[in-house]
Amino acid sequence: MNANLLPTGSVYFMPSQTEAEERRTLTVLVDNEPGVLARVVGLFSARGFNIDSLTVSETEHDKHRSRITVVTVATPKVLSQIKLQLERLVPVHKVHDLTQEGSAIERELALVKVAGSGDSRVEALRLADAFRAQVIDATTESFVFEITGKSSKVEQFVALMVPLGLVEVVRTGLAAITRGPEGM
Amino acid sequence: MAEQMTGAEMVVQALIDQGVEHMFGYPGGAVLPIYDAIFQQDKVRHVLVRHEQGATHMAEGYARSTGKCGVVLVTSGPGATNAVTGLTDALLDSIPLVCISGQVATPLIGSDAFQECDTVGITRNCTKHNYLVKSIEDLPRILHEAFYIATSGRPGPVVIDIPKDVQFALGTYHKPQARPSHPTYKPQIEGDLEAIKVAVDLMLRAERPVFYTGGGVINSGAEASRTLRELAELTGFPVTSTLMGLGAYPASGSQWLGMLGMHGTYEANMAMHDCDLMICLGARFDDRITGRIDAFSPDSRKIHVDIDPSSINKNIMVDIPIVGDVNQVMEEMIRIWRAKTNQPRTEAIAPWWKEIEKWRRVNSLGFTNSDTIIKPQHAIQRLYEATKGRDVYITTEVGQHQMWAAQHFHFDQPNRWMTSGGLGTMGYGLPAAIGVQVAHPDALVIDIAGEASVQMTMQEMSTALQYELPVKIFILNNEYMGMVRQWQELLHGGRYSHSYSDALPDFVKLAEAYGGHGIRCSDPAKLDSAIDEMINIRKPVIFDCRVSKEENCFPMIPSGKPHNEMILPDTADIGSIIDERGKVLV
Ligand SMILES: Cc1cc2nc3c(=O)[nH]c(=O)nc-3n(C[C@H](O)[C@H](O)[C@H](O)COP(=O)(O)OP(=O)(O)OC[C@H]3O[C@@H](n4cnc5c(N)ncnc54)[C@H](O)[C@@H]3O)c2cc1C
Ligand SMILES: Cc1ncc(C[n+]2csc(CCOP(=O)(O)OP(=O)(O)O)c2C)c(N)n1
Ligand SMILES: [Mg+2]
């Protein structure tokens, strides 16, 4: 608490308009009661916050506790509001900013359907192998690949599939966890 | 103590166990079991309203004037949707409410059943929390939890939506916990001691300090107003307040600067602009206060005490954030200050007070009075003089009259001033006055109204008559939506698009039609006796006070302007100030 030693932290000295936006992964620990997801998502839309990715599932069945992983993009000031507003919701236990708290591991799963024949079919298989994507369905003219990894890897794989006959993609959104022995 | 009863009986029993004496509601199919349970007891008194919006504002007035939780009961569908405005109003003004709504039976939910609406969906963003009770087992816990959440931390409205089959179901009731707690909801009451010490250090060194107080001091309870007075006296610092905090520090106190913000006094806004230390106590840096954010009090350090962490650094970045109950934090401040000195900083801040005195001499609330026509400001001043020394509670509608009431009616005690600040809901004042009168049957309760606003909930006159609640509606009738007209004059070239109050009812006859008493006055010479007539009648009164039509409400900080660029009334004494300040008038 040395704010009294610094120049005043008043906003007038911070041109807030030009503040750069940052991408953050937040973990929201909630009681899995009815409507809790609507509360969280409703808060983002009501207050004009962005959601880039959203992943939800009950993670501790005995305690009825769910983990919501949200990826959002905002200025630092808005990010702090997002966290405080989320924590204000009654069923929210805690909000962790994984990006800020240190190196978190982030993974996403995607199912990618590609249709084609001849060279492009061979090329798709070759690339899938290089990306360690699994073939989980195959016909003579199509594949469904399952790929897991960082979002950037998934993006890259999908981009490569476009010229090779990409039909559709479904992604789970991000799951993220901190490294090391400690839990939340 | 466990007891078997129906869901409907649990509702009433929980209200009794929560100490509820009055509730405001309107029946319908989906709440009939609860109405049946109400019928069979006499501990909780039910006030039948004329529109569910009225019920919510009555509960707000009741809550704000007593410090207790307001309780509302509405039916499903239209009953619930009619309550939405009042719930939103309570959310923005931090008023504790519990609103119980009926819902169609659980097997019918989602089938577009008769009078079904998604009440929890609709009210999710206009309540502090809400519940759909799906099973009788959950009902007692939810009922008690709702009161805990509504009244603790930053207060707010909570909705409990109860399907009809749950109201009929038998279950086991249990009493509230003596010390309620919740697994995830844990408001922080105690402020961080280190931060409070730093704050007091800054206060002990300040040369141009100001207390900026708000509705949080009222929320914190009557004790907080006493603590604020002690803190003010101990430090000798000037005090201003938002619209929502009026009465926490007495208007008759020598350190009082008047209200701040868009229609606040010159001295309050200049003190905010020029201070070197701002101590914000339970206020939320609303845009009516800050004006242009980047020009708001540029040279001050800011201490912000608030129970809601999300209020801090939301609009204005502060130097010393303190999350906690404002009464507790002020008590700590007093203790720490006393440990260092028993002296106010009288000498050190004498030059600051001198400057403030100069601003005071501007007389920013001045207006040109008239012998022939009643000026609205004058009407409020006369009303204030006539009711001085009485046990008086004021509510307002929304508009110019609301601001004139805030400027010219003076409050020496908390919980005496009920107004819709955050949402600015026209139609708030009359039902709020009824709610206040229910809580304080012998008090003088006056709704300072505009002729446009009051027509939004006028039907509650009938409620006032039914329950013999002698509320007074004092209408400053300017035949305009004055506040709208003023903005159109300032910003839209005086094109008064749809802001004229045409085809007004005869308010005197209207009062009589309801069984109340009507008074009309347009002559300044007769105003005092007309006001006395109103005060002395033990009946609801509508007072049609005909005032000058095109009066503007000044002073005013135009939106997007900094505090030191206020528009002052043309009567302001700016002689000695204008040289220093350059363009005070814009
Ligand atoms: C036409 C119109 C004109 C207006 N003009 C003005 C004007 O000129 N000046 C003005 O002041 N307002 C004006 N208002 C009102 C304005 O819109 C806001 O409602 C008001 O300024 C907010 O007051 P507040 O900051 O005290 O906050 P409130 O809305 O009262 O909020 C209270 C704050 O205190 C906190 N709190 C609650 N309980 C506690 C506790 N126990 N301990 C600590 N903190 C607590 C809350 O978290 C919150 O941050 C106007 C409204 C209308 C309709
Ligand atoms: C429900 C609602 N609708 C619209 C408004 C916008 N509004 C604010 S003040 C006002 C005019 C109020 O007129 P009146 O009650 O006559 O008060 P006056 O300003 O004339 O004193 C209006 C329309 C509002 N605040 N609330
Ligand atoms: Mg009017």
Q: Cis omega before residue B505 (within 30°)?
A: no
Kindly report the nearest CA distance between residue A29 and chain B, in angstroms.
Answer: 10
Res A184: pLDDT? 83
pLDDT in tens, A142-182: 999 999 999 999 999 999 999 999 999 999 999 999 999 98
Confidence at residue B193, expressed as pLDDT on a 0 to 100 scale: 98
- Fold annotation for A105-177: Alpha-Beta Plaits (3.30.70)
Residue B529 pLDDT exceeds 70: yes
Decide: helix, strand or coil at residue B175: coil
Cβ separation A34–B132 shorter than 8 A: yes
Dig out the tokens for B76 from the structure. Answer: 């499903």
Nearest-by-CA chain A residue for B145: A90
Looking at domain A22-102, its CATH class is: alpha beta
Percent of chain B with pLDDT over 70: 98
> What residues of A are in contact with residue B299 (Cβ under 8 Å)?
8
Pick the more confident residue, A107 or A12.
Answer: A107
Residue A18: per-residue pLDDT: 67
What atom of ligand 2 comes closest to residue B399's alpha carbon?
19
- Quick one: pLDDT at residue A101? 87
H-run or E-run covering B378:
helix B376-387
d(CA B335, CA B213) in angstroms, rounded, equals: 19
Say whether B124 and A92 touch across the interface (CB within 8 A): no
Which of A17-26, B59-68, B143-152, B187-196 has the least mean pLDDT?
A17-26
pLDDT digits (tens, 9 = 90+) for B37-90: 999 999 999 999 999 999 999 999 999 999 999 999 999 999 999 999 999 999
Ligand 1 centroid distance, CA of B305 (Å): 14
Which residue's entry shows tokens 């004042």? Answer: B429
Dist. CA A112–CA B572, nearest whole Å: 73
| pTM of structure | 0.95
Closest CA to B104 of B133, B140, B138: B133
pLDDT in tens, B186-224: 999 999 999 999 999 999 999 999 999 999 999 999 999
CA distance A177 to chain B (A): 21
Structural domains in chain B? 3-173 (3.40.50.970), 193-360 (3.40.50.1220), 376-546 (3.40.50.970)
B483 is annotated as an active-site residue: yes
Please report the beta strands in B85-204, taking only residues with DSSP state E, as ranges in sequence order.
97-103, 129-132, 157-163, 170-173
Question: Residue B97 Cα, ligand 1 centroid: separation in angstroms?
Answer: 18
B340 catalytic residue (yes or no): no
Number of alpha carbons in the 13 Å side-chain half-sphere of residue B181:
3
B314/A34 Cβ within 8 A: no
Of B125, B149, B310, the CB nearest to A81: B310
Band the pLDDT of A7: cuts 50, 70, 90: very low
Mean pLDDT throughout A67-76?
96
Number of residues written out for chain A: 184
Residues ≥6 apart with Cβ < 8 Å to A182: none
Cα of B93 to ligand 1 centre, how many Å? 7
Does residue B255 have an active-site annotation? Answer: no
| Interface membership of A17 toward B (CB under 8 Å) | no
Q: Which of B18, B23, B52, B328 is catalytic?
A: B52
User: Ligand 1, atom 36: nearest CA belongs to which residue?
Assistant: B216
Q: Can you give the pLDDT at residue B573?
A: 81
- Residue B486 CA to ligand 2 centre (angstroms): 11
Instruction: Over range A17-37, report the average pLDDT.
Output: 91
Local structure of A103: helix, strand or coil: coil
Minimum-distance CB partner of B125 among A9, A42, A84? A42
Q: Does A118 touch chain B (CB under 8 A)?
A: no
Residue B316: list chain A partners with CB under 8 A.
10-11
* Bridge partners for A114 per DSSP: A143, A166
pLDDT at A3: 34
Average pLDDT, chain B: 96
Ligand 1 mean position, distance from CA B326 (Å):
14
Provide the pLDDT for residue B563.
82
Q: Whose CA is nearest to atom 47 of ligand 1?
A: B308
Give the per-residue pLDDT at A9. 31
Please report how many Cα atoms fall inside a 13 Å half-sphere around the Cα of residue B135, on the Cβ side.
Answer: 4
Task: Decide if B319 and A85 are in contact by the 8 Å CB cutoff.
Answer: no
Confidence of residue B570 (pLDDT cuts 50, 70, 90): confident
CB pairs under 8 A between A and B: 81
Judge whether A81 is closer than 8 Å to chain B, CB to CB: yes
Whether A10 and chain B come into contact, CB under 8 Å, resolves to yes
Ligand 2 first shell, C-beta below 6 A: B 397-401, 424-426, 450-453, 476, 478, 480-484
The answer to whether the Cβ–Cβ distance between A38 and B128 falls below 8 Å is no
CB proximity list for B468: less than 8 A, separation 6 or greater: none
- Specify the pLDDT at position A52: 95
Domain boundaries, chain A: 22-102, 105-177
Nearest-ligand number for the alpha carbon of B399: 2
**Above 80 in pLDDT, residue A1?**
no
pLDDT in the model for residue A11: 29
Task: Tell me which of B5, B115, B466, B561 is the catalytic residue.
Answer: B115
Of all residues in chain A, the percent with pLDDT exceeding 90 is: 84
Rounded to whole angstroms, what are the CA distances from A26 to A80, A86, A96, B230, B312? Answer: 11, 10, 6, 44, 20
Are domains A22-102 and A105-177 of this chain identical in fold?
Answer: yes
B88-138 tens-digit pLDDT: 999 999 999 999 999 999 999 999 999 999 999 999 999 999 999 999 999
Q: Which of B272, B483, B556, B566 is catalytic?
A: B483
B114, B137, B207, B385: the catalytic one is B114
How much of chain B, in percent, has pLDDT values that exceed 90?
93
Average pLDDT, stretch B9-16?
A: 98
The answer to whether residue B52 is catalytic is yes
H/E element holding A129? helix A119-130
Across the interface, whether the CB atoms of B293 and A8 are under 8 A apart is answered no
Report pLDDT digits (tens) over B284-293: 999 999 988 8
CA distance A39 to chain B (A): 7
Closest CA to B18 of B165, B203, B145, B191: B145
What's residue A14's pLDDT? 38
At B343 the pLDDT is 86
Q: What is the mean pLDDT of residues B220-239?
A: 98
Q: How confident is the model at residue B575 (pLDDT cuts 50, 70, 90)?
A: low
Q: What's the pLDDT score for residue B564?
A: 81
Mutate to test the interface with B, among A12, A17, A64 (most CBs of B within 10 A): A12
CB contact under 8 A, B132 and A81: no
| pLDDT score, position B583 | 39
DSSP state string for B390-405: S-EEEEE-SSHHHHHH
Among B134, B310, B320, beta carbon nearest to A84 = B310
Contact B318 A10 (CB under 8 A): yes
Does the pLDDT value for residue B1 go beyond 70?
A: no
